[in-house]
Structure 1
Amino acid sequence: MKEHQGFWRMWRWPIVLGLLTVVGLISALFSDGGVGDMLAWLTLGIPVAVCAWFGWRKSPTR
């Protein structure tokens, strides 16, 4: 049971970001304006914003 908790603790957010990316790409491919485009922008923008946040954040000093 403890190994299962460690798996989800480590992989929860990468899986969420991957699912958001997949939903955004599918929405961008099949939508024709309106809500579909807004969904694509939102679901593709969130992973980019998260990566930018962690990329530009200062690393802790040791």
Structure 2
Amino acid sequence: MNSRFKDKYYDKLTYVNWKGQINHPKTFIIEDCDELEKVNYLMARKFDEDFDDKIINKLYDEL
């Protein structure tokens, strides 16, 4: 709670999409950018540069 984001504290700080998944969360791809921009979390899981590095590059560039 020493973070400058302490006022945005939620029970879960990491966004994970389990919709339609059974054993593991969805791996985000470039088409998921709108979804990630709409949610109110500090972090998201999961990304894989071997699966889609475009989304990682886009998010990095926007930081």
Same fold by TM-score greater than 0.5: no
Length-normalised TM-score, structure 2: 0.26
Greater C-alpha radius of gyration:
1
- Of Structure 1 and Structure 2, the greater strand share is in 2
Length-normalised TM-score, structure 1: 0.26
- Of Structure 1 and Structure 2, the greater helix share is in 1
